[in-house]
């Protein structure tokens, strides 16, 4: 029998630390539900000590998720561990993931602690965490640059203290597969009672080798991989969950392990995370990119038509690439609409929300001949902005753009409940719209990114716009979708302003593994 490889997803914690990728509690819950549907073993829901909002989001996920283990990160100190313990308390299965830096440069320059003090802090954190749960994971931050003898010492100590999972992170993406695999083999050989714990790998992608390093660790004996959907994460990101999972599934002859992942949910998870965070997936991204199963070359096309396996090592349907067409229209009922949302992991909290969402669906059906699941994801992302947090709202818009004339935008907004009409000119209609909004919002924010992507195919496709704004060190992404790309742009800018206004959870600047 093949050994089980535990999939530990940290999209909601490490992934959220991508600039502008902060998520609201409701958005985190939607992703957590999709991860549970995909049968992810462990969901790292956040860093409870980072903020009250993060702790509340973890607690809500812990109350909701029943099949996956819900985990909170905690530094190796009493305050963090207690915050994590309280946040995961409602979970059917809860885990505390505590960590401390172990490399000479981190201990000296950041922690300003001696090695003995680091070991003592790690042991104390693990023992305290065991008071909340039997499932305790310990990580040696910057293990890639840590002394091997010291790693053996601290891992031995925390295993004796009760840690069940030992994580070895390549925090800075410094390693290469051959060396990373050798590091695991050495640790498994030298650490006492190494066979009594699960060994985990957590790799960053600074040199583009996070997945390769993770797989090298698996080949060397690691039985948990920490990863994120779409490889999301700060700097160059983390190991990509979909690539790790499909690699071990496609090459059982090499790895000899299996996961419990329902791979048909991979594409849906990828699209959901992309929609919520505003981070688009590049077309040539492995597994989930739009071109991942496309064949342009005539030779390749001929081979695939004759026998699929000539050029495809995986079936697109195995990872969730389907038409995903929603056969609903103007005459479809609310129950069918609600049922399809449920299949997508979108929970309707009230009849009022259902009625409003259904009305917007009907409006969209008037504009588009076909509605896809991606359209519904975008529509419901807009619905997630509830009235009590919608300080800025677009009421109506009119745009004028003509060759030889200066483009103009006239908008009607509500700001704090007061209706205001505003007008501005710009180098194009989108620029004019943004100038009109800023003339009354006066946010002082800097526009860092403007990105447009088609949600589905066809000339009637909705355009999805991402706007990234920064102000006073805070960075947020705003999203908007509409069949009119200029309207979508205005929606995205307003969505970002609402987040900057403080009505949605902002990304805390916290240290990471």
Structure tokens that stand for 147 in this block: 């002394």
The span from the CA of 309 to the CA of 293, in Å, is: 12
pLDDT confidence of residue 508: 45
Residues whose CB is less than 8 angstroms from the CB of residue 80 and which lie 6 or more positions away in sequence, other chains included: 48, 49, 74, 98, 125
Task: Give the pLDDT band of residue 477 (cuts 50, 70, 90).
Answer: confident
The span from the CA of 400 to the CA of 327, in Å, is: 35
State the fold for domain 389-503.
Double Stranded RNA Binding Domain (3.30.160)
pLDDT confidence of residue 397: 96
Q: Average pLDDT for residues 479-508, to the nearest whole number? A: 80
Residues whose CB is less than 8 angstroms from the CB of residue 163 and which lie 6 or more positions away in sequence, other chains included: 126, 136, 137, 138, 197
Residues whose CB is less than 8 angstroms from the CB of residue 3 and which lie 6 or more positions away in sequence, other chains included: 223, 256, 257, 258
For residue 311, count CB atoms less than 10 angstroms from its CB and return exposed for 0-12, middle for 13-18, buried for 19 or more: middle
Whether 67 and 97 have beta carbons less than 8 Å apart is answered as no
pLDDT confidence of residue 500: 86
List C-alpha distances in Å: 273 to 16, 70, 230, 387.
10, 18, 8, 23
The DSSP string of 204-265 is B-TTS-HHHHHHHHHHTT--EEEEBGGG--STT-B-BHHHHHHHHHH-HHHH-EE----GGG
Q: What percent of the chain has pLDDT over 90?
A: 64
Least confident of 289-293, 426-430, 485-489, 506-510: 506-510
Mean pLDDT of the chain: 89
User: pLDDT, tens digit, for every residue of 361-407?
Assistant: 888 877 776 777 777 877 776 665 544 468 899 999 999 999 999 99
pLDDT confidence of residue 303: 59
Task: Give the pLDDT band of residue 310 (cuts 50, 70, 90).
Answer: low
pLDDT confidence of residue 383: 62
pLDDT confidence of residue 328: 59
The DSSP H or E segment spanning 438 is: helix 429-441
Q: Which residue has the higher pLDDT, 177 or 509?
A: 177
Q: How many residues does the chain have?
A: 513
68 DSSP 8-state letter: S
Whether 271 and 261 have beta carbons less than 8 Å apart is answered as no
Residues whose CB is less than 8 angstroms from the CB of residue 100 and which lie 6 or more positions away in sequence, other chains included: 75, 76, 111, 118, 121, 122, 125, 139, 140, 141
User: Which segment, 303-312, 318-327, 356-365, 372-381, is predicted with the most confidence on average?
Assistant: 356-365
pLDDT confidence of residue 505: 41
Residue with tokens 């067409």: 325
Whether 249 and 259 have beta carbons less than 8 Å apart is answered as yes
- How do 6-9 and 224-227 pair as beta strands? parallel
User: pLDDT, tens digit, for every residue of 188-199?
Assistant: 999 999 999 999
441 DSSP 8-state letter: H
Q: At what angle do helices 52-64 and 78-88 cross, to 10 degrees?
A: 40
pLDDT confidence of residue 155: 98
Q: In the chain, where are the structural domains located?
A: 3-277, 294-321, 325-383, 389-503
> Could you tell me which CATH class the domain 3-277 is placed in?
alpha beta
Q: Average pLDDT for residues 73-82, to the nearest whole number? A: 98
Q: Provide the whole-model pTM.
A: 0.85
Residues whose CB is less than 8 angstroms from the CB of residue 258 and which lie 6 or more positions away in sequence, other chains included: 2, 3, 4, 5, 248, 249, 252
Q: Where are the beta strands (DSSP E) in 283-442?
A: 325-326, 371-372, 392-400, 408-415, 418-425
Least confident of 78-82, 134-138, 343-347: 343-347
The span from the CA of 210 to the CA of 507, in Å, is: 23
Whether 442 and 465 have beta carbons less than 8 Å apart is answered as no
pLDDT confidence of residue 175: 97
Question: What is the Cα gyration radius of the chain?
Answer: 24
For residue 223, count CB atoms less than 10 angstroms from its CB and return exposed for 0-12, middle for 13-18, buried for 19 or more: middle
pLDDT confidence of residue 504: 40
List C-alpha distances in Å: 269 to 72, 93, 262, 288, 344.
21, 22, 11, 10, 10
User: pLDDT, tens digit, for every residue of 241-286?
Assistant: 999 999 999 999 999 999 999 999 999 899 889 888 888 888 899 9
For residue 448, count CB atoms less than 10 angstroms from its CB and return exposed for 0-12, middle for 13-18, buried for 19 or more: middle
The DSSP H or E segment spanning 97 is: strand 94-101
Residue 334 has pLDDT above 90, yes or no: no
């Amino acid at each position: 029998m093949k050994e089980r490889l535990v999939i530990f997803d940290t999209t909601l914690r490490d992934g959220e630390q991508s600039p502008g990728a902060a998520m609201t509690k409701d958005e985190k819950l939607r992703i957590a539900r999709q991860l549970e549907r995909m049968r992810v073993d462990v969901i790292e829901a956040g860093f409870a000590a980072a903020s009250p909002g993060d702790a509340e989001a973890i607690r809500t996920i812990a109350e909701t998720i029943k099949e996956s283990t819900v985990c909170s990160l905690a530094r190796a100190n009493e305050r963090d561990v207690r915050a994590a313990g309280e946040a995961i308390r409602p979970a059917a299965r809860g885990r505390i993931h505590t960590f401390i830096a172990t490399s000479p440069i981190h201990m000296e320059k950041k922690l300003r602690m001696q090695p003995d003090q680091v070991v003592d802090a790690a042991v104390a954190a693990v023992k305290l965490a065991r008071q909340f749960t039997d499932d305790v994971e310990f990580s040696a931050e910057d293990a890639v640059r840590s002394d091997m003898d010291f790693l053996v010492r601290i891992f031995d100590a925390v295993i004796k203290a009760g840690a069940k999972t030992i994580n070895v992170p390549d925090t800075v993406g410094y390693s290469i597969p051959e060396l990373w695999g050798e590091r695991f083999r050495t640790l498994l050989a030298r650490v006492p009672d190494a066979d009594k714990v699960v060994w985990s790998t957590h790799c960053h992608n600074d040199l583009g080798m996070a997945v390769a390093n993770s797989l090298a660790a698996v080949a060397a004996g690691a039985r948990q991989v920490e990863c994120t959907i779409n490889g999301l994460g700060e700097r160059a990101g983390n190991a990509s969950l979909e690539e790790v999972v499909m690699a071990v599934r496609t090459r059982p002859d090499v790895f000899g392990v299996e996961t419990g992942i329902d791979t048909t949910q991979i594409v849906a998870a990828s699209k959901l995370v992309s929609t919520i965070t505003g981070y688009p997936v590049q077309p040539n991204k492995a597994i989930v990119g739009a071109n991942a199963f496309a064949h342009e070359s005539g030779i390749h096309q001929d081979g695939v038509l004759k026998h699929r396996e000539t050029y495809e090592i995986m079936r697109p349907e195995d990872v969730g690439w389907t038409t995903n067409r929603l056969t609903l229209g103007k005459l479809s009922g609310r129950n069918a609409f609600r049922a399809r949302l449920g299949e997508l992991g979108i929970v309707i909290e009230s009849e009022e929300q259902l009625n409003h969402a259904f009305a917007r669906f009907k409006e969209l059906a008037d504009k588009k001949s076909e509605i896809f699941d991606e359209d519904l994801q975008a529509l419901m992302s807009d619905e997630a902005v509830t009235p009590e947090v919608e300080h800025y709202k677009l009421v109506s818009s009119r745009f004028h753009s003509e060759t030889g004339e200066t483009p103009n935008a006239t908008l009607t907004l509500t700001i704090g409940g007061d209706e205001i009409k505003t007008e501005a000119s710009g180098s194009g209609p989108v620029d004019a719209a943004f100038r009109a909004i800023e003339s009354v919002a006066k946010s002082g924010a800097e526009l860092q990114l403007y990105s447009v992507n088609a949600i589905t195919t066809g000339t009637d496709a909705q355009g999805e716009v991402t706007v990234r704004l920064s102000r006073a060190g805070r960075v947020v992404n705003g999203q908007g979708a509409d069949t009119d790309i200029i309207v979508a742009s205005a929606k995205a800018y307003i969505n970002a302003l609402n987040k900057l206004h403080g009505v949605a959870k902002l990304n805390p600047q916290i240290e990471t593994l």
